């Protein structure tokens, strides 16, 4: 048995013992527990003491991290080495948010200068649009942006906008991701084409949904303003030639690099719509917050390292205690899209069944993650969290100071966040109620992440915290967190099925699929 196998065996032994005791009992048994399992990182206060591990288990998990080479892997990540082997690329999103003067290298090639130039171009564009110096083809200033993109080209920008947008924004930012035409139709409704910019974001500039929506939006502009309205088109892509071929003016195509993964790309020009609609200063602060988390991740010892500890808590639940589902509940309406963002970040990154070397992974990998804003989720899925037959670990996020509205309501929101974490862990013992329907077993784990305010810096730090958590988990599981081959098959088959729905010759399919296609064809 090598060192890593021994560490996994130790994890399994620790988890077996954990399954036989209660979390809340650990506080009395371990006087230093709270201090050891709470930490501050880049403006976030994190409490992992309601997780099922004992302090001895934490040591076991830290041994696993060391045996798995987390520190070396982290150094390779920051050094811009090819950590995404199947695509032959580094994953260097940290370079995008480093302050000017940094010296990041992607596969040995210096990139920080290009990053600074890209940021300068984004800032100049954002400033020009916001001041009105850059106006539409009729001379009217832009008052709306329709951001078209999907997956990583959508979820981050949407989250950032919802989290930080002013109550009455001078520029209205709307999104369309789905190829379902209903979404773009809704996004365009009520907008004046003369005042609307269309920002198409696609790393590859080949994505069916995005190109379909971009064509429809371009036609919508041209229908009112003619081809002069092509000056309202902006694109963000790692394939700028394709964006220009689509008809986007060359000086309005913002590039980024193949070493920026889609789900890690909000820090690049993919965030342009947000930078314009929120202002460059806000976007720069958002990047700075993420960089603060990068510095923490790179420098903090493993046992005080927030992304590492979050990842270890997850692996203790996922692998040690065989928990295949987890939930994330932000007690902040402005963070309600965080679960959707995490679904791509965690499940596209770590939903893998072979190792980076192509062998079957000997461990379970990413849990399914779901969630919604608290308190709304309490009135939907919390029943299962408290009394269901599966134990679902929960990440609870909360913000001390509300961004707007009634402070009394904010206090009620926070009270619910705290109370739910307590109820999950402590429960209500049968002794307190003779009715089994009303008994709460408790002993259900949660992590608590507290932000003083939902400001750009803390939002950046929060997203970077989870990015690095996902990376650490991938290292422990020995998988490549930066590719996504699992999305390819469905795309290929959809292209084939579309040909058949459009009247092409029927292809070879299983009977169920063939019947579905026949039914849809007969309704045309």
Q: What are the residues binding ligand F6P (CB under 6 A)?
A: 150-153, 202-204, 207, 210, 262-263, 348, 484, 487
Measured from the CB atom, the residue of 207 and 287 that comes closer to ligand F6P is 207
CB of 213 to ligand F6P, least distance (A): 11
Alpha-carbon Rg of the chain, whole angstroms?
Answer: 24
Cα atoms found within 13 Å of the Cα of residue 297, Cβ hemisphere only: 30
**202: burial class by Cβ within 10 Å (0-12, 13-18, 19+)?**
buried
Pairing verdict, β 325-331 and 394-401: parallel
Q: Which is nearer to ligand F6P, 142 or 175 (CB)?
A: 175
Of 5, 379, 401, 432, the catalytic one is: 379
SS3 assignment, position 509: coil
Token representation of residue 145: 């942006």
Angstrom CA distances, 40 to 37, 299, 476, stand at: 10, 14, 24
Q: Which is nearer to ligand F6P, 202 or 410 (CB)?
A: 202
Tell me how far, at minimum, the Cβ of 481 lies from ligand F6P, in Å: 12
Closer of 431 and 489 to ligand F6P (Cβ): 489
The β-bridge relationship of strands 44-47 and 38-41 is antiparallel
Cβ count within 10 A of residue 115: 23
Closest C-alpha to 41, from 293, 333, 332, 382: 293
Q: Of 81, 209, 348, 467, which residue is the catalytic one?
A: 348
Report, in Å, the least distance between residue 381 CB and ligand F6P.
Answer: 25
Closest contact distance (angstroms) between CB of 156 and ligand F6P is 9
Contact of 94 with 289, CB cutoff 8 Å: no
Return the number of the residue (207 or 350) whose C-beta is nearest ligand F6P: 207
Q: Is 491 a catalytic residue?
A: yes
Q: Which phi and psi angles does 464 have, rounded to 5°?
A: -65, -35
Shortest Å distance, C-beta 430 to ligand F6P: 47
**Residue 189, SS3?**
coil
Let me know: does 405 contact 378? Beta carbons within 8 Å: no
Q: Which is nearer to ligand F6P, 64 or 150 (CB)?
A: 150
Helix (H) or strand (E) holding 296: helix 280-299
- Token reading at 402: 């509300």
Minimum CB–partner distance for residue 310 and ligand F6P (Å)? 23
| DSSP of 140-186 | PBP-EEEEE--GGGTHHHHHHHHHH--SS-SSEEEEE--SSHHHHHH
**Element housing 85 (H / E):** none
- DSSP codes, 213-260: HHHHHHHHHHHHHGGGGGGGEEEEES-HHHHHHHT--GGGEEE--TTS
Q: Which is nearer to ligand F6P, 98 or 269 (CB)?
A: 269
Output DSSP code: residue 359.
S
**Residues 338 and 380 sit within 8 Å (Cβ to Cβ):** no
Q: Least distance to ligand F6P from the beta carbon of 257, Å?
A: 13
For ligand F6P, the closer of residues 62 and 150 by Cβ is 150
**Residue 491: CB minimum distance to ligand F6P, A:** 8
Q: Which are the catalytic amino acids?
A: 348, 379, 491
């Amino acid at each position: 048995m090598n060192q890593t196998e021994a560490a996994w065996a130790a994890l399994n032994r620790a988890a077996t013992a954990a399954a036989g005791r209660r979390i809340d009992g650990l506080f009395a048994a371990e006087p230093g527990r709270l201090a050891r399992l709470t930490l501050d990182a880049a403006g976030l206060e994190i409490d992992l003491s309601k997780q099922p591990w004992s302090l001895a288990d934490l040591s076991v998990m830290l041994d696993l991290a060391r045996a798995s080479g987390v520190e070396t892997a982290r150094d390779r990540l920051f050094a811009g080495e090819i950590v995404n082997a199947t695509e032959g690329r580094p994953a260097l999103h940290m370079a995008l948010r480093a302050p000017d003067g940094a010296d990041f290298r992607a596969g040995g090639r210096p990139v920080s200068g290009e990053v600074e130039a890209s940021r300068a171009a984004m800032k100049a564009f954002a400033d020009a649009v916001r001041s009105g110096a850059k106006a539409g083809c009729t001379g009217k200033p832009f008052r709306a942006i329709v951001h078209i993109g999907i997956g990583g080209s959508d979820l981050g920008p949407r989250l950032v906008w919802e989290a930080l947008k002013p109550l009455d924004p001078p520029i209205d930012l709307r999104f369309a991701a789905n190829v379902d035409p209903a979404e773009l139709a809704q996004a365009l409704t009520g907008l004046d084409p003369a005042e609307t910019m269309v920002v198409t974001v696609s790393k590859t500039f080949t994505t069916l949904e995005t190109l379909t929506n971009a064509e429809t939006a371009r036609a919508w502009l041209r229908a009112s303003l003619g081809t002069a309205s092509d000056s309202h088109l902006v694109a963000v892509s790692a394939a700028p030639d394709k964006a220009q071929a689509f008809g986007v003016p060359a000086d309005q195509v913002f590039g980024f690099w193949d070493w920026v993964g889609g789900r890690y790309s909000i820090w690049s020009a993919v965030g342009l719509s947000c930078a314009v609609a929120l202002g460059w200063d806000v976007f720069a602060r958002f990047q700075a917050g993420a960089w603060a988390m990068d510095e923490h991740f790179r420098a903090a010892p493993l046992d005080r390292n927030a992304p590492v500890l979050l990842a270890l808590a997850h692996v203790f639940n996922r692998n040690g205690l065989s928990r295949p589902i987890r939930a994330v509940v932000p007690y902040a309406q402005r963070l309600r899209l965080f679960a959707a963002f995490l679904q791509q970040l965690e499940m596209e990154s770590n939903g893998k069944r072979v190792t980076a070397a192509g062998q079957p992974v000997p461990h379970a990998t990413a849990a399914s993650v779901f969630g919604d804003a608290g308190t709304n989720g309490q009135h939907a899925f919390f029943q299962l969290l408290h009394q269901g037959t599966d134990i679902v670990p929960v990440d609870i996020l909360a913000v001390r100071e509300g961004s707007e509205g009634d402070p009394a309501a904010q206090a009620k929101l926070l009270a619910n966040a705290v109370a739910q974490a307590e109820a999950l862990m402590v429960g209500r013992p049968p002794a307190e109620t003779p009715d089994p329907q009303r008994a709460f077993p408790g002993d259900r784990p949660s992590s608590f992440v507290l932000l003083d305010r939902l400001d750009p810096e803390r939002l950046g730090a929060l997203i970077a915290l989870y990015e690095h958590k996902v990376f650490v988990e991938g290292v422990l599981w020995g998988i490549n967190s930066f590719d996504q081959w699992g999305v390819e098959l469905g795309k290929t088959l959809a292209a084939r099925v579309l040909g058949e729905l459009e009247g092409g010759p029927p292809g070879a399919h299983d009977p169920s699929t063939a019947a579905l296609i026949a039914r849809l064809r007969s309704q045309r």
